[in-house]
Chains A and B, each alone.
Chain A
Amino acid sequence: MSGPNGMLYGGDEIGALVFDPGHHSLRVGYAQEDTPKADIPAVIGVGPATHIPEAEEKVPDGNVTQSNTKKDELRYYIDVTELHVPRPGMEVQTYMKDGQVENWDLFEKMLDYCYSKVIRSPSEHHPALFTEAVWTTRPAREKLAELLFEKYQAPAFFLVKNAVLAAFANGKSTALVVDAGASQTSAVPVIDGYALVSAAVRSPVGGDHLVAQAKHMLNNMHIQMLPIYSIQSKEVIRERERARYTLKTLPAGLTHTWQQYMLKRQYEDFVHCVAHVSETAYDDRSAASVPGLHYEFPGGYHQDFGPERFKLSECLFEQSLGAPHLVCAAAGACDADARAALWGAVVASGGGACATGWLERLAKELAGRAPSAHRLKVTAPPAPAERRFAAWIGGSILASIGSFQQMWISSQEYDEGGKGQLERKCP
């Protein structure tokens, strides 16, 4: 803080941390920074502690949270450098379900990792701001507060709905926030920084659905997605030629969940590179006129993808499950007086909104559906990273604003009032 009266740009940084847990990844970092320090996959590898010698060597500098090498002890492998190594018997588990944390033991491991490896500073020094989905249940919220105060001794804690933060990240306090995440797409109206819970709508069509579609499509095209960790070497071949490669010898006992997880990452990569949302509903002729995009698979096979690119992403804009429909439903559920403001500030966030052409398609479909009495404006940060991390960035902004510092639930307050006050203090 500085300036003549101590209020330079209204900011005051108090060393707070911002956590944004999602189905795809957990974003964590210091408030007042513009990107999270780490973006950690929201899954944890759980395996027996003693198998690979190199991993044991790593124990002292510790990318692994539990370093006990006794038999029957479990070890937790977190973040890509640990997780993406083939290990016999390592199962991949997720702690998220339906937009909120479900497996608290695993989530604790994740927080341990965040504090020790990402933040590298004791948790009792940093107030923690968490984002949550709009429909997070009360027990889950209270459990989180309890965990932070009792286990991590956080000096202060706060929970904000991620839609509100995404609106803040776009410089708005009233907005209709569309969040295209991994497990779902949602539309949440935000008025003056408060999410309208009863008007929020969501559909299970998200990034994961798109990935499943991609898998289906490649199967139908008889293109094999070989796991990248299984390839020893590959030869350069011509387009659409049969792949020639040699396989690695892998340790025995790789679990199914881990293999599926690794393959999903590869399909995700394919989707990020190839999928393209067409500006209007898919039609063969206009799709064919756009040049194709080249993609090489891990085995070495490569080809151009033309109309498939557009056909693939069409599933995101299905009639009653796509983002445009959600926006209309959410706006329609709001009070008539609020609608004009909401239509004028439709904000897109989440990883799904990074797909090429997604925002343009949304804007176009909404222009067709929005009542003509309203001025429609669809916005999103231009940079893909800012779109994906919109909720985290909003949290970073909020936690470093001087006038926000009175809102935290401090540990004193928690000791006196218990977790019951969460509903009141973090609406």
Chain B
Amino acid sequence: MADILDILDIEHPGASEITRDSIIHGDKVKKKYVTTKAVRRPEGMHREVFALLYNDNKDLPPLLPTDTGKAYKQTKAKLGMRKVRKWVWAPFTNPARKDNAVFHHWKRASDEAKEYPFAQFNKQVSIPSYSESEYNQYLKSEDWSQAETDHLIDLCQRFDLRFIVIHDRWDKAAFRDRSVEDLKERYYNICSILSKVKTNPWSNTVTMVNGEKRIYHYDAEHERKRKEQLKRLFDRTQEQIDEEQMLLTELKKIEARKRERDRKTQDLQKLISRADSGNSTTNNQANVTNEAAMPTNTVSNIVRRHDRKLHKKKLATQQRPVRTVETVTVEWSGIKFPEARGTGVWLRSQRMKLPPGVGQRKTKAIEQELRLMNIDIAPTPTEAICKHFNELRSDLALALDLKNALASCEFELQALRHQYEALNPGKTLSIPPSICNTNADGEAKPLGEIIDVVGSPGALNSTI
């Protein structure tokens, strides 16, 4: 230890240096280091730069290389004049041992005897124990005999619950071979049963959460399956691994190609929608995707399935007009304006901004309605106006949605009637006036062009 103290230049309290002074002046020990006022490193200066300016001697570094120290001239090593502290070959007992065996080791004569320091590392896992009657009462199992259970608990104790080692040392001559999962299952089962019936549970399987016992549950079935999977993973042959690797790279290629295709489709769609002819949009779009989906039936299954799904979706859109009954649901209910804003200063007019979820068409429609009602599109945002204006627009949006939904219901109704009449020539379907709304017709039309009700096909709106 003294060596390390020397290296670190730390003064050891026990051994003072013998100098002529200390002998002559006896106990009047002069303090060796005069603490000089430490120069503080100015804020922001790098440590390296500071070290250049101020070394230990607190003087500036020389401009020219100099060699003033007697480092090279000194021929003899300066040996410390410390008093040697004695070592003794001393007996000791180790409290971690049960037998009080006496061993010997080297220790400083000056060190007072204390407990063997390594004894503190003697840690053991606590394993449940049970009596004969407890076993018979609670732990009986068809699969496990008591002798086998005892053997398991004994091994758990000896190998500190290292189940892989326990499995290795399992007495295969006396008991039948069991898997690691079997052993774990039995052990944790015993733990949970005993911790329910006994008062002092085992720390490693029972945790207290809010004063309530939580017992570790071992899911043996899941573990078995997991290990089965793991084994299968390890047992793959080189060909299988190569094939998988090949498929993965192919998949990557296909995905890249698909992204490219999607990008092109989108570009095309943009062009088409600019022409703004709803009917042709869907058809074209479907055609484009169909075409694009064609070359993919080459390699990976996954990708094929994915593409087929895409394909189907497009087909569904195409088929829609053929379908006769369409349920129209209005999911939209006004506009939700965000309540809390971030910290800091903000303009109140910000509160009147429509949230980004509201589409372009809807915004336009609301503005148009406002104009019809002779309301300013951007009123002065006082607190009250803000509130009311937002409420108004929210209601307007809802009203628009409802009107739209009504229009499409109307259309469905008419379509059904026509279908009915076509299928039963000569008969007319009389629609009760309570569900018929004829005067809404005129109003719904322009709106239908602007707003797209959720769930109703855009193609239909334009055909009314």
A interface residues with partner B (beta carbon < 8 Å): 1-8, 10, 12-15, 127, 155-156, 191-192, 194, 196-199, 334-339, 371-373, 402-403, 405-406, 408, 410-413, 416, 424, 427
Inside 8 A of A127's CB, which chain B residues have their CB?
A: 103
- Kindly provide the distance from the CB of A333 to the nearest chain B CB, expressed in whole angstroms: 10
Inside 8 A of A408's CB, which chain B residues have their CB?
A: 101, 103
- Kindly provide the distance from the CB of B431 to the nearest chain A CB, expressed in whole angstroms: 69
Inside 8 A of B172's CB, which chain A residues have their CB?
A: 198
Contact status of A155 and B234, CB under 8 A, knowing A3-B1, A192-B162, A198-B168: no
Residue with the highest number of chain B CB atoms closer than 10 Å, among A2, A13, A192: A2
- Kindly provide the distance from the CB of B116 to the nearest chain A CB, expressed in whole angstroms: 8
B106 partner, pick from A1, A4, A334, beta carbons under 8 A: A1
- Kindly provide the distance from the CB of B91 to the nearest chain A CB, expressed in whole angstroms: 10
Contact A337 B103 (CB under 8 A): no
Q: Is B227 an interface residue (CB 8 A)?
A: yes
Contact A194 B104 (CB under 8 A): no
Residues of B92-123 whose CB lies within 8 A of A: 94, 96-97, 99-101, 103-108, 111, 114, 116-119, 121-122
CA distance A15 to B106 in the complex (A): 9
Contact B107 A1 (CB under 8 A): yes
CA distance A416 to B97 in the complex (A): 14
Q: Is B165 an interface residue (CB 8 A)?
A: yes
Q: Is B398 an interface residue (CB 8 A)?
A: no
Given A1-B106, A194-B162, A198-B172; 20 other pairs, CB 8 A cutoff: A2-B107, A2-B108, A10-B118, A12-B118, A13-B106, A14-B103, A15-B104, A156-B101, A192-B165, A196-B164, A335-B180, A336-B227, A371-B236, A372-B241, A373-B234, A402-B116, A402-B117, A403-B118, A406-B122, A427-B159
Contact B162 A339 (CB under 8 A): no
CA distance A155 to B102 in the complex (A): 9
Contact B1 A406 (CB under 8 A): no
CA distance A339 to B119 in the complex (A): 33
Contact A4 B122 (CB under 8 A): no
Contact B230 A337 (CB under 8 A): yes
Contact A338 B169 (CB under 8 A): no
CA distance A411 to B96 in the complex (A): 16
Residues of B142-167 whose CB lies within 8 A of A: 158-159, 162, 164-165, 167
Inside 8 A of B176's CB, which chain A residues have their CB?
A: none
Contact status of A335 and B234, CB under 8 A, knowing A2-B107, A413-B101: no
Q: Is B423 an interface residue (CB 8 A)?
A: no
Q: Is B231 an interface residue (CB 8 A)?
A: yes
Contact status of A191 and B106, CB under 8 A, knowing A335-B180, A410-B101: no
Interface pairs A-B: 6 shortest CB-CB: A402-B118, A410-B101, A406-B96, A403-B121, A196-B168, A6-B117
Contact A191 B94 (CB under 8 A): no
Inside 8 A of B116's CB, which chain A residues have their CB?
A: 402, 405
Residues of B168-223 whose CB lies within 8 A of A: 168-169, 172, 180
- Kindly provide the distance from the CB of A406 to the nearest chain B CB, expressed in whole angstroms: 4
The residue of chain B having its C-beta at the shortest distance from the C-beta of A416 within the complex is B99
Inside 8 A of A337's CB, which chain B residues have their CB?
A: 164, 180, 227, 230
The residue of chain B having its C-beta at the shortest distance from the C-beta of A125 within the complex is B104
Contact status of A427 and B169, CB under 8 A, knowing A2-B1, A336-B227, A336-B234: yes
Contact B118 A7 (CB under 8 A): yes
CA distance A199 to B104 in the complex (A): 38
Q: Is B302 an interface residue (CB 8 A)?
A: no
Inside 8 A of B241's CB, which chain A residues have their CB?
A: 372
Q: Is B8 an interface residue (CB 8 A)?
A: no
Inside 8 A of B119's CB, which chain A residues have their CB?
A: 406
CA distance A5 to B114 in the complex (A): 10
21 contacts between A and B (CB under 8 A): A7-B117, A7-B118, A12-B105, A15-B105, A155-B101, A194-B162, A194-B165, A194-B168, A196-B164, A196-B168, A336-B227, A336-B231, A338-B164, A371-B233, A402-B116, A402-B118, A406-B118, A408-B101, A408-B103, A412-B101, A413-B101
Inside 8 A of A6's CB, which chain B residues have their CB?
A: 107, 111, 114, 117
The residue of chain A having its C-beta at the shortest distance from the C-beta of B229 within the complex is A336
CA distance A286 to B241 in the complex (A): 31
Contact B164 A413 (CB under 8 A): no
CA distance A416 to B101 in the complex (A): 13
Contact B164 A412 (CB under 8 A): no
The residue of chain B having its C-beta at the shortest distance from the C-beta of A408 within the complex is B101
Contact A191 B164 (CB under 8 A): yes
CA distance A142 to B9 in the complex (A): 53
The residue of chain B having its C-beta at the shortest distance from the C-beta of A374 within the complex is B234
Inside 8 A of B168's CB, which chain A residues have their CB?
A: 194, 196-199
Inside 8 A of B111's CB, which chain A residues have their CB?
A: 6
Inside 8 A of B114's CB, which chain A residues have their CB?
A: 6
CA distance A338 to B231 in the complex (A): 11
CA distance A197 to B105 in the complex (A): 34
- Kindly provide the distance from the CB of B413 to the nearest chain A CB, expressed in whole angstroms: 63
Inside 8 A of B233's CB, which chain A residues have their CB?
A: 371, 373
Contact A334 B107 (CB under 8 A): no
CA distance A206 to B106 in the complex (A): 42
CA distance A403 to B94 in the complex (A): 10
The residue of chain B having its C-beta at the shortest distance from the C-beta of A415 within the complex is B99
Residue with the highest number of chain A CB atoms closer than 10 Å, among B96, B103, B107, B159: B103
CA distance A10 to B233 in the complex (A): 41
Inside 8 A of B100's CB, which chain A residues have their CB?
A: 412
Contact status of A413 and B99, CB under 8 A, knowing A4-B1, A12-B105, A403-B121: yes
Contact B162 A410 (CB under 8 A): no
- Kindly provide the distance from the CB of A191 to the nearest chain B CB, expressed in whole angstroms: 5
CA distance A198 to B159 in the complex (A): 16
- Kindly provide the distance from the CB of A329 to the nearest chain B CB, expressed in whole angstroms: 14
Q: B210-254 toward A: CB 8 Å interface, digit per residue (1/0)?
A: 000000000000000001001101101000010000000000000
Contact status of A336 and B104, CB under 8 A, knowing A5-B117, A199-B168, A403-B121: no
CA distance A2 to B107 in the complex (A): 6
- Kindly provide the distance from the CB of B182 to the nearest chain A CB, expressed in whole angstroms: 12
CA distance A196 to B170 in the complex (A): 11
The residue of chain A having its C-beta at the shortest distance from the C-beta of B89 within the complex is A15
Inside 8 A of B234's CB, which chain A residues have their CB?
A: 336, 339, 371, 373
CA distance A424 to B157 in the complex (A): 11
Contact B227 A405 (CB under 8 A): no
Contact A14 B105 (CB under 8 A): yes
B94 partner, pick from A4, A155, A336, A406, beta carbons under 8 A: A406
CA distance A405 to B96 in the complex (A): 9
Inside 8 A of B164's CB, which chain A residues have their CB?
A: 191, 196, 334-335, 337-338
- Kindly provide the distance from the CB of B176 to the nearest chain A CB, expressed in whole angstroms: 15
The residue of chain A having its C-beta at the shortest distance from the C-beta of B155 within the complex is A427
Inside 8 A of B97's CB, which chain A residues have their CB?
A: 405-406, 410
Contact status of A424 and B158, CB under 8 A, knowing A156-B103, A337-B164: yes
CA distance A196 to B234 in the complex (A): 20
Contact A335 B167 (CB under 8 A): yes
Contact status of A410 and B105, CB under 8 A, knowing A8-B1, A198-B168: no
CA distance A15 to B180 in the complex (A): 40
Contact A196 B1 (CB under 8 A): no
- Kindly provide the distance from the CB of B434 to the nearest chain A CB, expressed in whole angstroms: 70
Inside 8 A of B104's CB, which chain A residues have their CB?
A: 14-15
CA distance A335 to B163 in the complex (A): 10
Inside 8 A of A2's CB, which chain B residues have their CB?
A: 1, 106-108
Contact B103 A155 (CB under 8 A): yes
Inside 8 A of A334's CB, which chain B residues have their CB?
A: 164
CA distance A98 to B236 in the complex (A): 36
Inside 8 A of A155's CB, which chain B residues have their CB?
A: 101, 103
- Kindly provide the distance from the CB of B46 to the nearest chain A CB, expressed in whole angstroms: 35
Inside 8 A of B105's CB, which chain A residues have their CB?
A: 1, 12-15
- Kindly provide the distance from the CB of B146 to the nearest chain A CB, expressed in whole angstroms: 20
Inside 8 A of A194's CB, which chain B residues have their CB?
A: 159, 162, 165, 168
